[in-house]
Structure 1
Amino acid sequence: MRLEEVFSGVAVAFEATGAAAMIIGFVIALVLGVRSLRRREGGRAAFSVLRNALGSAILLGLEILVAADLIRTITSKPSVEDALILGLIVLIRTVLSISIQIEIEGVLPWRRALLTSGGQLLGEAVRRDRAAQAERSG
């Protein structure tokens, strides 16, 4: 097996992981939103939970897809056109990631002392949900 085939396979695996992160994150966001509604926190709170969790999942998926694009540069032919197309794709995904992060947190990413990844944000949403469940049952 050639090295190009290995890196191509790794890039495909990263792409599948990025897509899976968004799909699984959507399901988690939906569950968290429904749980928030069932706890009678109100529609606005449930929407906020759903929006933040879904945005976090999309952010995580986009970060993984950017990594896949960077890995794919190893396997691409070194032409200017390929490099420009790949650069444009990475730029678009990066701008989307930044805009989603601003939407979720309400703060420009470079104004924060510590950056938070999409996975951390999704984990925080799950922790808040578990704490609310424990509070309700305990």
Structure 2
Amino acid sequence: MEFQHVVELVGMVVDAMGVAVIVVGAVVATGHAVFRLSRRQAAVYRAYRRRLGRSILLGLEFLVAGDIIRTVAVSPTYAGVGLLALIVAIRTVLSFSLELEITGRWPWQRR
């Protein structure tokens, strides 16, 4: 098996892990919210958003890692690296905005 094929496979596995984290996190967060709603507990929506946001953040990190693995190891062209930079920039903005939504503060601010 060639190195490029192995790296491509590793990148796909990391991408699949990112998607799985998002899906499992969404299912768990939804199940937890439904359970809390059935017991009429308070602040269900906030807790649901926080759990769902955390799973999306973690999944995005895996997806970025998969893109980096494939781009740097398989096709390190200027176009590929430029596209990777654009993808990472967009996902970084998404991560920061999700962090702000979850915690109500920027990551560098004190609690």
Shorter-chain TM range is over 0.9
Q: TM-score, normalized by length of structure 2?
A: 0.92
2:32 alignment partner in structure 1? 32
CA distance in 1, matches of 2:39, 2:24: 23
Deviation at residue 111 of structure 1 after TM alignment? 2.1
Deviations 1:35-87 (A, max 9, x none): 11122114xx11111111111110110011111111112111x3211111111
CA–CA distance in 2 between the matches of 1:60 and 1:3?
A: 27
CA distance in 1: counterparts of 2:17 and 2:34, whole angstroms: 25
Identity %: 44
Measured in 2, the distance between the counterparts of 1:12 and 1:63 equals 14
What pairs with 1:25-64 in structure 2 (closer than 5 Å)? 25-42=25-42, 45-64=43-62
Shift of 1:112: 4.3
Residue by residue over 1:80-124, the C-alpha shift from the partner in whole angstroms, topping out at 9 and shown as x without a partner, is 1111111101111111111101110111112248xxxxxxxxxxx
**Which consecutive residues of structure 1, in runs of 5 or more, have no partner in the other structure?**
114-138
User: What corresponds to 1:13 in structure 2?
Assistant: 13
- Corresponding residue of 2:66: 68
Counting matched residue pairs gives 110
CA distance in 1, matches of 2:38, 2:64: 36
**Secondary structure in structure 2 of the residue aligned to 1:111:** coil
- Find the counterpart in structure 2 of residue 83 from structure 1: 81
When normalised by structure 1's length, the TM-score is 0.75
Cα distance in 1 for residues equivalent to 2:67 and 2:87: 8
Deviations 1:10-39 (A, max 9, x none): 000000000010000110010111111122
Q: Distance in 1 between matches of 2:8 and 2:99?
A: 29
Unaligned stretches of 5+ residues in structure 2: none
Helix, strand or coil at the partner of 1:108: coil
> Letter of the aligned partner of 2:61 in structure 1?
E
Report the 3-state secondary structure (helix = DSSP H, G, I; strand = E; otherwise coil) of the residue aligned with 2:53. Answer: helix
Tell me the distance in 1 between the aligned counterparts of 2:110 and 2:27. 29
